[in-house]
A and B are shown apart, each in its own frame.
Chain A
Amino acid sequence: MATFFGINLFALSGQLLVGLINGSFYALLSLGLAIIFGLLKIINFAQGAMYMLGAFFAWMALNYMGINYWAALILVPIVIGCIAILIERFLVRPIAGEDHLYSLLLTFGIALVLQGLFTHLFGSSGLPYKIPAELTGGTKLPFMYLPNYRAWIIVISLVVCGSTWWVIEKTKLGAYLRAGTENPQLMQGFGINVPLITTLTFGFGVALAGFAGVLAAPVYSVSPDMGSNILIVVFAIVVIGGMGSIGGAILTGLLMGVIEGLTKYFYPEASATVIFLVMVIVLLIKPAGLFGKEA
């Protein structure tokens, strides 16, 4: 076994890999939250429930309709995006412009309903989802064994996060989005359909969570509380990173995953709490968050 100053490289790199995978999910979820927050100024408490929904839809598509993983990876986020658009249009929009705490409570209610519904339908024990045949097996690296599916999660999340960042920061559509974040009234004055952009943004932000859910189905067991557990961690990450920047949300997500992985190796007892502790430290040193603007 490869060791280096008493550190078991094999185990350490294994935990780092797990950390990077968790970080990929954190990045996808906090990116979605940040996009929605930018334009709507609300926090979607149902983001975790939508992630859970993504995993369940993938499972249902495979078992009830025979839709395979690759099709689900495209279809499920679209379906979830459409559900989100309906939610935005009929539930969130009527209370837009009021205290944002109400939309937080509203989406919390939606999350409770969804989680309760799926617990009722499928029980709380969790369902297995097979890794697609193309991605089974793994590659043997000099210091570790890299399962192909895990590598795929990291690569595809980075690609999705990166292209989202590129669209928002570098394209005309992204410019509209950023302008809408700064001053929606003015942009409306220029003849841009802000309510439409708002709805689509909400749909896309939530679709990212659905996408993460499909991606997660083969590595975590598909269970109704998978969403709420990860969401609270993602909230801490959002506080750490601040929601001012899209790139910041992605970076903080990945970084926290890695920190969690390192903690799992060096001090496993604290691995569940380390991200919350980092949040405490950030609140003490830089309350607005690492990438946040001072309020």
Chain B
Amino acid sequence: MKINKLYLVLFLLALVAPMVLYPVFLMKVLCFALFACAFNLLLGYVGLLSFGHAAFLGTGGYVTGAMMLHTGMGPEISILVGTVAAGVLGAVYGKLAVKREGIYFAMVTLALAQLAFFFYLQSPFTGGEDGMQGVPRGSLLGMIDLSDNTNMYYFVLAIFIFGFWVVHRTIHSPFGQILKAIRENEPRAVSLGYNVNDYKWVVFIISSALAGMAGSTKTLVFQLASLTDVHWHMSGEVVLMTLLGGMGTIFGPVVGAGVVVTIQNYLSGGELGNYIHIIMGFIFIVCVLAFRSGIVGELQKIMKKNFG
């Protein structure tokens, strides 16, 4: 009951937010929050560290961009196709990656994502270093003009809520319980008769499709798909967002994405732009050494201590 009220308050805040804050900034946060939620599904709930999630973000982005530019389909169809494309890539990559565990899993996903990076770098349709520019936002169902930032914001919010709901459903299903069992004690899950690799594979597909949905939406928001989205830096950023916000918590990635995007926006304008990677690196080090539960995780601990 308490948690439902929290959702309601957050929803109302999200509705009025564009009256206070710049809509494009909010949309950027929502896209990255969805990306981080998708990533957290793997790291936080199954204990799988994917270092290649940029590949899915970028695939969604490029496919949606190409659909909007060349097929004349609407934004809803384009995003759907982008999401499915990322899911298909996730099915292939996931099948390979779940063959290895732990650190190897991270290295395999990183290498596979680099494969995708070179593919997009060399393919003519992506525009190489320049990126895919001037992607139209189109109009929703042919009626609502999305070039208006406020309309676009509510569209992005709806997509985010859908993605968040998918993550929430997955975690709170019997399937999600098994995922947590795998995270806590994989040999025991195996001995209980669960085909662990299949479970990992399915959740990898869900996660990559949602990451692709985030990338598709992001392309429409910025009307641009570029190599930045498939670069390994992006894979690192989503790890940071999740770690900073609190992995294995439902709101952690959202908070983490908000903080990281805010820091980036703040720094990129000024002369401190050069320091972005240094600061990100330091946050990584501090999080791992001293702040491992992340912002939301620490808050939950405080709540439990004082009120639970």
Contacts and interface: CB of A to CB of B under 8 A. Distances in A.
A119 interface: yes
B289 A269 contact: no
Interface stretch (A17-25, A97-105, A140-148, A173-181): A97-105
A85 interface: no
Interface stretch (B29-37, B57-65, B147-155, B270-278): B270-278
B103 interface: yes
A106 B96 contact: no
A115 B236 CA distance: 14
B26 interface: no
A104 B49 contact: yes
Interface residues of B, number: 40
A104 B108 CA distance: 14
Nearest to B286: A109
Chain A binding surface SS class: helix
Contacts of B118: 272-273, 276
Interface stretch (B109-117, B201-209, B221-229): B109-117
Contacts, number: 119
A105 to B, nearest CB: 5
B110 A283 contact: no
B292 interface: yes
A116 B277 contact: yes
A287 B288 contact: no
Contacts of A272: 118, 122
Contacts of A110: 281, 285
B275 A120 contact: yes
B288 A102 contact: yes
B102 interface: yes
Interface in B94-142: 96, 99-104, 106-108, 110-112, 114-115, 118-119, 122
Nearest to A272: B118
Chain B binding surface SS class: helix
A236 B108 CA distance: 7
B111 A112 contact: no
A204 B281 CA distance: 24
B285 A106 contact: yes
A209 to B, nearest CB: 16
Interface residues of A, number: 43
Given A43-B107, A110-B281, A236-B111, A94 B289 contact: yes
Interface string B168-203: 000000000000000000000000000000000000
B239 interface: yes
Contact of A104 (B106, B276, B277): B106
A105 B243 contact: yes
Contacts of B39: none
Nearest to B282: A113
Nearest to B115: A276
6 contacts: A101-B103, A116-B280, A235-B111, A276-B118, A283-B99, A287-B100
Interface of B: 47, 49, 96, 99-104, 106-108, 110-112, 114-115, 118-119, 122, 232, 236, 239, 243, 274-285, 287-289, 292
Please list the 7 inter-chain residue pairs (A to B) with the smallest Cβ-Cβ separation, ordered nearest first: A109-B284, A116-B277, A112-B281, A113-B281, A116-B278, A236-B111, A109-B285
